[in-house]
Every structure is written in C-alpha cells, then in structure tokens.
Amino acid sequence: MAIEPKQFDASLRGTHEGHEVKRLDPDNPPYYLPISDEVEIFRAAYRARLPVLLKGPTGCGKTRFVEHMAHKLAGEHDGPSELITVACHEDLTGSDLVGRYLIQADQTLWIDGPLTQAARRGAICYLDEIVEARKDTTVLIHPLSDHRRMLPIEKRGELLNAHPAFLLVISYNPGYQSIQKNLKHSTRQRFITIEFNYPPLEKETEIIAHESGADRDTAEQLALLGAKIRNLKGAGLEEGVSTRLLIYAGELIKNDIAPRRAATVAVTWSLTDEPESKAAIDEVVKAIFP
C-alpha cells in the first residue's frame, strides 16, 4: 500500500544514483594553479549568485577548478554546503536530475535528484559536459539560471525556491559541438562564461610536476611535448593532448617506465587510432625523448 511520499534523507552522502556529492573542507581545497583571473571572477559570480559556464577543451582543468573553488567558498559567509557533480550523458533524463518516486516495500518514496538536492540544501551543482544531455533535459535548468532561481518539480506539484547558497555551474567542450550537440543560445545567455585553455608552458610544467611527482626537468619536457602535439591539431589531429594525459605520463615515468614508452602509452595511443596522426606524434615524442 502506498503512503505519503517521504523526502530524500539529506544525511546521505557520497556517490549516489549516478552523481557525486562531496563534503567541502575550506582548509584543504584540491590543488589548482590559477592561469588568469578565473578565481576572482568565479568568486564574484558566486557572491552575486550568477550561474557560471566553463568552456574549454578536455582535460584542461575545468572540473578541478570547480572543486577548488567550492572548497574555498565553503569557508566564506553563506558559502556552499556541498559540491554535487553530474557527468552528463545522452541518456540523462529530467527525472535523473530532478527526482522520482520509488516503490520500496509498501511505501512510495520521493527521491530528490542531484539538481533538487543542490537547490534545496544550498550546494554548488556542477553539470559536466552539459551538451551531452538531452535537449529536453537542459531546459529544466532555465528557471534556476535566471532571476527566478526556482525549480518546478511537476511530479510533486512543488515549486522549489533555491537555497540562498545554491549555485549552478555547467561546462562543455566547444570542440565537440555539432548540429546534434550544441548549447542553445537560450541556455548560454543565462550564464556568465569563463573560457579555459591549456596552460602556458611554465605553468603547465608546474602543474605536471606537482600532480605527477615527476622531477622538474621531466615535467618541463612533458609540457613541451604537449605544446608541440597541440600544434599538430591543424594537421589532422582532432583533439590536442590534455594536461591530464601529460600528468599520467609523468606518473608512469616516476614509477620507472622509460620516458618515451610512457609518452607513447599515455599520450600517443590515447589520442588517436589514425596511423598518420600516430606517426606524427611519435616523431615529436622521439625528438623530446630520444
């Protein structure tokens, strides 16, 4: 027998139903090296409660940046309570974001989705690679990303006003845009936008050294490798090498894999299956790691 729906237990934490909930520790934010004024812009946007769009290529630090800022802002007055991250995909439905009824034994329970959890509890909700989600799903965020700051929960007949500490953040990679997968102007114009790109050589060296534990010389060689491979993008390579892959190569080298071999398995083979592109990357690898 169904009874009155029960609200999602807000004490639940961790990875749940395809999204991740992180407790925030302002004293121990994840490492992030600022490239420009993105930290100041994000902090100002949060104080004004302006939704934020992060735009940039794969593996350039967008997710790490959000995690870093969420932890830092948690220590400020009226800061966020949590960071709730959703990895968007083509099967993501409105119910996945907002919530659904579930039957459990003889009870009908309402389970808040990640977007509802964040709006209700005062968290930052990060929708990663928003263009991967279905178009009818992205429309759900519109009332939360303008002056209304509210979320209609039609299945419950509820109009949820977002908690004062709530902030919506989305990201996408413009290199993956197509007619089928793009961000509608009606969505984009609800957000302030911070553009990301791969770090300049000196800063990427510092990031690789810190994150991989590789020595400075190795990190500098890997950063140079990244810069040279990105120059091949106009010669048939669809995507430049991410800082993430360069860090992976550094970790392999630190764990006694020969540098050229580490670059091959972490960079060359991860970037492409196209023989001509692989050959071009291999030439760059050999030049840096003879």
Locate the DSSP E strands across 99-147: 99-104, 107-112, 124-128
- How much is the pLDDT for 177? 55
Of 195, 213, 243, the position where a domain reaches its end is 195
- How much is the pLDDT for 68? 98
The CA-atom distances, in angstroms, between 126 and each of 23, 27, 45, 61, 282 are: 14, 21, 14, 14, 37
Q: Residue 175 in contact with residue 239, Cβ under 8 Å?
A: yes
- How much is the pLDDT for 175? 74
Shared domain for 189 and 212, answered yes or no, is no
In a domain, 278, yes or no: yes
In a domain, 116, yes or no: yes
> How large is the greatest C-alpha to C-alpha distance in the chain, in angstroms?
72
Torsion of CA 272, 217, 64, 54, to 10 degrees: -60
Shared domain for 139 and 39, answered yes or no, is yes
Q: Please, which pLDDT band fits residue 270 given cuts at 50, 70 and 90?
A: very high
Q: Residue 113 in contact with residue 98, Cβ under 8 Å?
A: yes
Shared domain for 111 and 213, answered yes or no, is no
- How much is the pLDDT for 6? 42
Find the domain containing 216 and state its range.
201-288
| Whether residue 178 has pLDDT greater than 70 | no
- Of 75, 144, 147, the residue nearest 116 (C-alpha): 144
- How much is the pLDDT for 4? 38
Of 151, 176, 195, the position where a domain reaches its end is 195
Tell me which amino acid residue 104 is: Q
Tally the domains of the chain.
2
Of 195, 225, 249, the position where a domain reaches its end is 195
- How much is the pLDDT for 235? 62
Shared domain for 32 and 156, answered yes or no, is yes
- Give percent of the chain above pLDDT 90: 73
Shared domain for 205 and 88, answered yes or no, is no
In a domain, 4, yes or no: no
- Distance separating alpha carbons of residues 217 and 140, to the nearest angstrom: 48
Average per-residue pLDDT for the chain: 89
149 sits in the region (left: phi over 0; alpha: psi -120 to 50; else beta) called: left
3-state secondary structure string across 194-234: EECCCCCHHHHHHHHHHHHCCCHHHHHHHHHHHHHHHCCHH
Residues 6+ apart with CB under 8 A from 161: 149, 150
| Whether residue 7 has pLDDT greater than 50 | no
pTM to 2 decimal places = 0.89
- How much is the pLDDT for 107? 87
Residue 174 belongs to domain with CATH number: 3.40.50.300
In a domain, 273, yes or no: yes
What are 127's strand-pairing partners? 86, 170
The predicted model gives 152-179 an average pLDDT of 88
Neighbours of 190 (CB within 10 A): 19
Shared domain for 186 and 208, answered yes or no, is no
Shared domain for 215 and 190, answered yes or no, is no
| Whether residue 81 has pLDDT greater than 80 | yes
